[in-house]
């Protein structure tokens, strides 16, 4: 079984770790716990991060699917990645556009049902949160920018 080299970006470290563990459990028995799927984020040791980077970036490496936080999107320079997935929406267009290329956005269900009729696109403030103002404790749904919601609900590609 050949698994295309895949990079999956997550909003937080715990989500990246949990997704890697979950995906690993769905591998065929012979591939489970063999390093085919790994996670990569700043809580890992420098040694683990370097070994994981070397393994994922090598054509002969075992790691085929890497779950990482968005912070890795600026630090990983790896050839041969076939699939890039943003798991969950980015909160603003700057982050979203940074990740553009060959990628898939797996958006939360509420993003498709959020009414944008009364929220016209504001080119002067495209990342204005849908709810207007937010607090530190606001949810992702509250702080997601209107431009991101317009993109998610769009029927055309960028």
User: pLDDT for 32-67, tens place per residue?
Assistant: 999 999 999 989 999 999 999 999 999 899 999 999
- With vertex at residue 59, the alpha carbon angle to CA 76 and CA 55, rounded to the nearest 5 degrees, is 55
User: pLDDT for 92-127, tens place per residue?
Assistant: 777 776 665 556 677 889 988 888 877 666 767 777
Query: In angstroms, what is the C-alpha Rg of the chain?
Result: 17
Residue 131, pLDDT > 70, answer yes
Per DSSP, the three-state class of 96 is: helix
Would you state the pLDDT for residue 75? 61
When pLDDT is cut at 50, 70 and 90, the band that residue 76 belongs to is low
- pTM to 2 decimal places: 0.68
Average of per-residue pLDDT across 6-27: 94
DSSP string across 120-142: ---TT-TT-BTTS---TT--HHH
Distance of alpha carbon 129 from alpha carbon 135, whole angstroms = 11
Would you state the pLDDT for residue 158? 58
Would you state the pLDDT for residue 16? 94
Residue 20, pLDDT > 90, answer yes
Would you state the pLDDT for residue 35? 96
Average pLDDT, the chain: 84
Domains and CATH numbers, the chain: 6-106 (3.40.50.300), 112-153 (no CATH)
Which one is predicted more confidently, 81 or 50?
50
């Amino acid at each position: 079984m050949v698994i295309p080299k895949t990079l999956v970006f997550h909003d937080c470290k715990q989500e990246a770790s949990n997704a890697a563990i979950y995906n690993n459990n769905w591998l065929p028995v012979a591939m489970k716990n063999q390093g085919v799927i790994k996670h990569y984020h700043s809580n890992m040791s420098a040694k683990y991060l370097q070994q994981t980077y070397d393994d994922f970036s090598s054509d002969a490496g075992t790691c085929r699917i890497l779950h990482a936080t968005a912070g890795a999107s600026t630090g990983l320079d790896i050839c041969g990645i076939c699939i890039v997935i943003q798991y969950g929406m980015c909160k603003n267009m700057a982050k979203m556009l940074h990740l553009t290329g060959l990628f898939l956005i797996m958006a939360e269900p509420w993003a498709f049902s959020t009414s944008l009729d009364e929220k016209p696109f504001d080119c002067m403030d495209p990342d204005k949160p849908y709810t207007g103002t937010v607090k530190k404790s606001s949810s992702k749904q509250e702080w997601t920018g209107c431009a991101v919601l317009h993109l998610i609900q769009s029927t055309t590609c960028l």
